[in-house]
């Protein structure tokens, strides 16, 4: 029987998570309303999956610290962060601390169940929109992309690096063909590219895969790995 520990200081969240998990047959569910109580329950019960909010503090221990401690105890423990914070910096830090998955609290119930089942199988989970934001943040941090390049333009740049056409980029992002054309025009001006082939070459330089990724971009890697 799968044992789940939910650590959150909001009663409504605890109740909602419990009902969702009970509906799929999870019969052993523990709840904690503080970081300290959550860590003690974790040590005592050794749950199979932990669902934790980040926005909690207690006796110098916060949500990220709690994740690190649990990860030190068990390198394979599935940890799903259930948070109201969609800032890609916070998301990235949660994964760095050891989270297996990350889900926003305004997600649909079916998304919650998908995230839970994914991390329970030991696979990472992050929805597409957040994954894109995290990858773009990481790309900007490790490259010399000009600061005035917008998140949308970075998305276009990443898709160009994947070899996508204007039409494919428009379909992928859910925007018009004209929007993609305009974004590429802006990118040419900001990056100093004289034409489309040069822009594509620059996209491969700015948003490229690390060695051993078979030529896939970071964005493609996250799409394939973070969704489960």
Q: Are residues 120 and 218 in the same domain?
A: no
CATH code, domain carrying 175: 1.10.10.10
Domain closes at, from 63, 91, 124:
124
Q: Are residues 13 and 70 in the same domain?
A: yes
Domain closes at, from 124, 146, 177:
124
pLDDT value for 127: 87
Residue 93 has pLDDT above 50, yes or no: yes
Which residues lie closer than 8 Å to 78 by C-beta, 6 or more apart?
Answer: 48, 49, 50, 100, 101, 119, 120, 121, 122
Domain closes at, from 124, 143, 170:
124
- Give the closest residue to 197 by CA, choosing from 188, 189, 209: 188
Q: Are residues 51 and 28 in the same domain?
A: yes
- Give the closest residue to 156 by CA, choosing from 141, 171, 138: 171
For residues 145-164, average pLDDT: 82
CA distance 92 to 98: 10
CATH code, domain carrying 25: 3.40.50.2300
Residue carrying the six token digits 């998305």: 155
SS3 assignment, position 103? strand
Q: Are residues 156 and 118 in the same domain?
A: no
For residues 201-219, average pLDDT: 52
Q: Are residues 117 and 156 in the same domain?
A: no
Q: Are residues 73 and 114 in the same domain?
A: yes
For residues 11-35, average pLDDT: 94
Residue 183 has pLDDT above 80, yes or no: yes
pLDDT value for 34: 92
CA distance 18 to 4: 9
Give the pTM.
Answer: 0.68
Q: Are residues 149 and 112 in the same domain?
A: no
CA distance 142 to 53: 29
pLDDT value for 173: 84
Q: Are residues 102 and 10 in the same domain?
A: yes
Average pLDDT, the chain: 85
CA distance 204 to 160: 8
Of 136 and 43, the structure prediction assigns the larger pLDDT to 43
Q: What is the residue range of 154's domain?
A: 130-226
Residue 117 has pLDDT above 90, yes or no: yes
Q: Are residues 13 and 120 in the same domain?
A: yes
What is each CA distance from 207 to 36, 42, 141, 155, 157, in whole angstroms?
A: 41, 40, 11, 10, 8
- Give the closest residue to 191 by CA, choosing from 218, 142, 228, 157: 157
The count of domains in the chain is: 2
Of 199 and 209, the structure prediction assigns the larger pLDDT to 199
């Amino acid at each position: 029987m799968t044992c789940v520990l939910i650590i959150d200081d909001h009663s409504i969240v605890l109740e909602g998570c419990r009902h969702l998990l009970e509906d799929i047959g999870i019969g052993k569910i523990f709840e904690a309303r503080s970081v300290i109580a959550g860590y003690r329950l974790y040590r005592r019960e050794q749950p199979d999956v932990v669902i934790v909010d980040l926005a909690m503090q207690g006796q110098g221990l916060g949500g990220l610290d709690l994740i690190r401690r649990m990860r030190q105890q068990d390198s394979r423990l599935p940890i799903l962060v259930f948070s109201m914070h969609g800032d890609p910096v916070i998301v990235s830090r949660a994964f760095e601390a050891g989270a297996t998955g990350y889900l926003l609290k305004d997600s649909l119930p079916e998304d919650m169940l998908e995230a839970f089942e994914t991390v329970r199988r030991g696979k990472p989970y992050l929805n597409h929109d957040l994954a894109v934001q995290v990858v773009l943040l990481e790309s900007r941090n490790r490259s010399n992309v000009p600061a005035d390049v917008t998140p949308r333009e970075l998305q276009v740049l990443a898709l160009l690096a994947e070899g996508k056409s204007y039409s494919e980029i428009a379909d992928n992002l859910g925007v018009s063909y004209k929007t993609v054309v305009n974004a590429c025009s802006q990118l040419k001006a900001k990056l100093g590219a004289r034409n489309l082939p040069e822009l594509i070459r620059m996209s491969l330089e700015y948003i490229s895969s690390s060695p051993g990724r078979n030529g896939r971009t970071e964005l493609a890697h996250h799409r394939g790995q973070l969704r489960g």
